[in-house]
Structure 1
Amino acid sequence: MVAVVFFREWQDRVPGESRSLARARDLANELGLLDVDLPLIVVVGSKGKGTCATYASATLAAAGLRVCTVTSPGLRGDRDRIRLNGRSVSESELASLAERLDKAIGVLPPRSDGYLAPTGLFTLAGVLHARTEGADALVLEAGMGGRGDEVSLFSPATVAITPIFGEHLGKLGDTPAEIATEKSGVIKPSTRAVVSAAQTPDVAEALDRAYDGIEYAPSTGLGDDLLPAGLGRANAEVGCAAALALLGERPAALEAMLRTVRLPGRLSWHRIPGAQVLADCAINRAGVAVALETARERWGGIDHAFVCLPDHKDLDGAIAELGDLPVTFVRLPFERLSFEHPLPPAWKVLDAVDLTPGLIAGQGRHVVALGTVYFISAVLNAINADTERLFVL
């Protein structure tokens, strides 16, 4: 029932059909969500949005607020997309939300201008959950876009922007600057603050045209021990800064709260019988380099790497960084993804469905898993990683 509701119209789409923001607006109106009056942070960007949203949510929770957070995709499953105070919704809560969405969809006219996108439906379900549970604040991570994303149906008090680069060229724009313009469409006249990671000059110029007074590369004064390692640190700080801008003051419990944050799949460490695993959603050369360096600093060496990068990611950069490491390349079972790029002849190849703890541990004591968020989700599922709570009150 749950999967059917959220993915039905997307699965039934016809060639050339696109998501319908107008249909999503009609659904939100039917559910009474367009007038939800909660302090809202919207997170947009090309990479690191989940980290940013998590740290923004933890900062708000440190102030004593009950925070509903929507991220995409889930770490291990769809329950992880919607959280209250860092905890995933339960199966019964998600089923109830799906039932209420399904009933409202049934009232809408037959679709004629596009389908309801899964990420958009989870966004609406999250807002519905926030209202049902009496949440004090909302943090919504945009899907791929900004102006064309369902988060744009709402008016954020604060917008957080992670680095914007050439991800989704040809879909959101033909240049990073055009992509930035599209993503900045979530900024509304009522938005009081916009906080951004450092951007390239062309992207910053596009963002500045959308909002005067953006704070770039904010410095919160938080120590390195309170923020994640690697490339995620800047995104975490953007999230904290966006939440502090909304709150207007620093919560006394902030440091204690941030010490509890866990980010599975973002330079996260896991133990399984016979091996230790470092899992990271690295999709380009820089990310792979940081992950490998982090692993070597802790272990001294790496026995094996599992890698999953479809053709539109920076596989050449990953190959260069991995060098002569033993590698198993993993393919995902999604028709929309192509895995035709030539691989080094020494690399093994397998399908994600074949991942098991025994297979992973069989490659050595120290193993890294690098690639898309969907691949890392498969790894987290295979090793039964705990993704129930991202921070603890």
Structure 2
Amino acid sequence: MTSHAAIVPGADSPELHALESSTAFREWTARAPGQRADRQRAVHLATALGLDLESPAAALGVVGSKGKGTTVAYASALLAESGATVGTVFSPGLITNRDRLRVDGAVLPLEEYAALLERVDTALRALPEPVDGYLAPSGFFLIAGLAHFAAVGCDLLVLEAGIGGRRDDLSHVALTGLAMAEVFLEHTDLLGDTIGQIADDKVGAARAGTRFVSHLAQSAEAEQVISRHCDEIGAERMRVDSAMRAAYAGMVGEGLGGVNAAHGLIAGRAMLAALGRAAITDEQVRVAASRVRYPGRLSRHDLGSSVVFVDSAVSREGFANALRHVERETGGAPALTLVSVPSTKDLAGFRALADELTTPVVFVRLDREHLHYPTRDEWPGDWATAAELPALLRSAPTVLAIGTASFSADVLRHCGVDTDRVF
């Protein structure tokens, strides 16, 4: 194993990547073909580290198909503005895996982060060898985060799910509240074949003892599932509609990002109320919202003579919203659009909008085997590899880079964006 004392600082440090590979990603890398995650591994690991998942610091969980990260960032900023020390787990990180774990918006110091990985991996290696499945990397980082937050005395936690809710390791944590972003068909091989089944899995992260579930407006089928689950566990259901979000319109951006940002602020306020803490003032909310710096969500970056807009959208609606945003900012369509979405997302919606554009659209395939990219027949237009991405970003005066969080992370890295703090 790489010693953390030998790690060279930097987002692309080979030494840090090697340490993460040998710790957080070790069981995932060694998984057998077709093998799935064993949810009990996270429970056993927590026990080995002396953590009580039934009695953590008060925690807000965040689930959904898209918009979770924005919700997490704004909820965390609001709770920190209230005077609490806030531990946050993002899944995934903005640019690196180190980005996943934060205290009051800041990443852990490099040596502290490396020592945490080694400590958690030592506990994991002491467990019996996995038989029924592996510990998912998202589960490793979740448990690592909880261990660190307990050690430094965080008052409140905001925890983003990896995939799903009931099937995710987040469901092992006793949550005070659950915030649910938009739900659409995704990961049907894991979560279910219908919107109702997927919504049921995601809201399943809330269980008896969870005091509230806040959720954005959903399909009728999904809302019925959410309502039924809240009734079953005795949780208050908060439907965050446009009327409720109106009070936050001047504090957050437009479009889907603004919707999720407002939801984060609302869910943060709901957490304070559920815990009987002093209510935060509107001015404090404005300050909290103004402090958030969460790139990759309709963010704008200068790269030489190019202006690059980056958005982590994987639906036709999100793509259309990003195109409207670029037009508002520049007065026209992007000179070049770079798309990177797997077949499991709204590939058909992306193709339909791409066909309507009169400016070039290029599909970028990253070196990520788990993302299930389309074949050349599924995207017959222009095609590029990850190695071509740096040159493409500098090849036009205005570039829209849109797709998965992994794609946004690569683009932000090439743009030299600093993600050490999100607020």
Q: TM-score, normalised by structure 2?
A: 0.88
Match of 2:238 among 210, 215, 223: 215
What secondary structure, in the 3-state scheme, does the structure 2 residue paired with 1:288 have? helix
Higher helix share: 2
1:247 equivalent in structure 2: 272
1:104 matched to 2:104: no
Q: Which runs of 5+ in 1 are unaligned?
A: none
- Give 3-state SS (helix, strand or coil) of 1:96's partner: helix
How far the C-alpha of 1:61 sits from its partner, in A, is 0.7
Of 117, 133, 141, the residue aligned with 2:160 is: 141
The code of the aligned residue for 1:164 comes to V
Match for residue 42 of structure 2 among 11, 24, 27:
24
Which residue does 2:3 correspond to in 1? none
Say whether the 8 Å CA contact 1:229–1:267 is kept in structure 2. no
Which runs of no fewer than 5 residues in structure 2 stay unpaired?
A: 1-18, 274-278
Give 1:220 deviation, angstroms. 5.2
Deviation at residue 14 of structure 1 after TM alignment: 0.5
**1:360 paired residue number:** 393
Contact 1:227 1:237 in 2 (8 A): yes
User: 1:338 corresponds to which letter in structure 2?
Assistant: Y
1:334-353 correspondence runs (5 A): 334-336=368-370, 337-342=372-377, 347-353=381-387
CA–CA separation in structure 1 for the residues paired with 2:280 and 2:366 = 43
Q: Report how far residue 15 of structure 1 moved.
A: 1.7
Counterpart amino acid of 1:28?
A
State the percentage of identical aligned residues.
39
Write out aligned runs for 1:155-170 (5 A).
Answer: 155-170=174-189
Kept in 1: contact 2:248–2:262 (CA 8 A) = no
1:328-366 per-residue CA deviation (whole Å, 9 max, x = no partner) reads: 210011223233053676x4321113322x54222x211
Q: By how many angstroms is 1:316 displaced? A: 2.5
CA contact (8 A) 2:74 2:288 kept: no
Instruction: Answer yes or no: is the 8 Å Cα contact 1:34–1:153 preserved in 2.
Output: no
- Aligned 8 A contact 2:301 2:309 in 1: yes
Which letter does structure 2 place at the counterpart of 1:103? T
2:359 is matched with 325
Query: Residue 4 of structure 1 aligns with which residue?
Result: 22
Q: Could you list the per-position Cα deviations for residues 196-252 of structure 1 after superposition, in whole angstroms to 9, with x for gaps in the alignment?
A: 110111001111111133111251553323113211222222221221111122245
**Aligned: 1:50 with 2:47:** no
With over 3 angstroms needed to count, the CA separation of the structure-2 counterparts of 1:343 and 1:152, relative to structure 1, is closer
Q: What does residue 376 of structure 1 align with?
A: 408
What is the total number of aligned residue pairs between the two structures? 388
Contact 1:70-1:126 within 8 A present in 2 as well? yes
My pick for the range that moved more, 324-333 or 46-55, is 324-333
The secondary structure found in structure 2 opposite 1:211 is helix
Could you tell me which amino acid in structure 1 is paired with residue 280 of structure 2? R
| Higher alpha-carbon deviation: 19-28 or 219-228 | 219-228
Q: Are the aligned partners of 1:169 and 1:176 in contact in 2 as well (CA < 8 Å)?
A: no
CA deviation profile, 1:238-297 (whole Å, cap 9, x unmatched): 221221111122245221121111221100010111111110012121111110111011
* One-letter amino acid of the counterpart of residue 342, structure 1: D
- Of the three residues 385, 389, 392, the one matched with 2:421 is 389
The within-5 A match list for 1:249-268 is 249-251=279-281, 253-268=284-299
